[in-house]
Amino acid sequence: MNVILLGAPGAGKGTQATRLAEKYGIPHISTGDIFRENIKKQTPIGVVAKSYIDKGQLVPDEVTVEIVKQRLAMDDCKNGYLLDGFPRNTFQAEELDKFSTVEKVVDIDVDLTKLLKRITGRRVCVCGESFHVDFLNGKTTCDKCGSELYQRADDNEETVKNRLSVYQNQTAPLIEYYQKAGKLVLINGDQSIDKVFEDITKTLG
């Protein structure tokens, strides 16, 4: 089961991917997470990626495609994978088609006007979970592992606005790309986390 989770920043890709990976026993591969790990370890890739991520721009394709190509070649992807945040433009999608066969593309659809609030209110944990301040009731630690939550450096209003326009200009055209390929499944992302999960699992089987 090779699946892509498509959707704007804040649509709920990471939230759903964590749950889907657990249910189906396949790896959740987030290019954003891979970049953030590299930034933390100050690797050469991390140094390059940071300058783009801080501005809300896409990290260059040659870096990003190579990372995904190597990751999908690893053993744990043999029975499938969940790609979250890749591809993000047509070039990346075409490259992916050259080294892997995607079966389904789940587009989590949320109105653009609601995304700014979702992202600026996002609080994340080192374990990979994300939360929203509106549901935390003042709690500052993770439900799953107890660690202190924090806000991502790029989840500020200025950077988010850039990311949303990058999404509209570069990523949204992928909806048509995968529709034409007969792989697209449209999911209403403006429902509870549980309901979105139920809708996705229904289409994945």
Would you please indicate which residues are annotated as catalytic (active-site) residues?
A: 13, 88, 122, 152, 163
Quote the least distance from Cβ 13 to ligand ADP, whole Å.
3
Within positions 67 to 86, which residues make up the interface with Zn ion, using CB under 5 A?
none
Q: Binding residue for Zn ion (CB under 5 A) from 139, 144, 161, 195?
A: 144
- Residue 153 tokens read as 């450096």
- Regarding 50 and contact with ligand ADP (CB under 6 A), the answer is no
Please provide the distance, in angstroms rounded to a whole number, between the alpha carbons at the two ends of the chain: 10
**Residue 156 class from Cβ within 10 Å (0-12 exposed, 13-18 middle, 19+ buried)?**
middle
Q: How far apart are CA 126 and CA 103, in angstroms?
A: 30
- Regarding 56 and contact with ligand ADP (CB under 6 A), the answer is yes
- Regarding 53 and contact with ligand ADP (CB under 6 A), the answer is yes
Which phi and psi (to 5°) does residue 6 adopt? -100, 160
Helix, strand, coil percentages for the chain (3-state, nearest 5) = 50, 15, 35
Which of 98, 43, 100 lies closest to 71, judged by CA? 100
Out of Zn ion, ligand ADP, none, which partner does residue 52 contact, by CB within 5 to 8 A per kind?
ligand ADP
Within positions 65 to 124, which residues make up the interface with ligand ADP, using CB under 6 A?
85-86, 88, 92, 118, 121-122
| Residues found near ligand ADP in the complex (CB under 6 A) | 7, 9-15, 30-32, 35, 52-53, 56-59, 64, 85-86, 88, 92, 118, 121-122, 130-132, 163, 192-193, 196
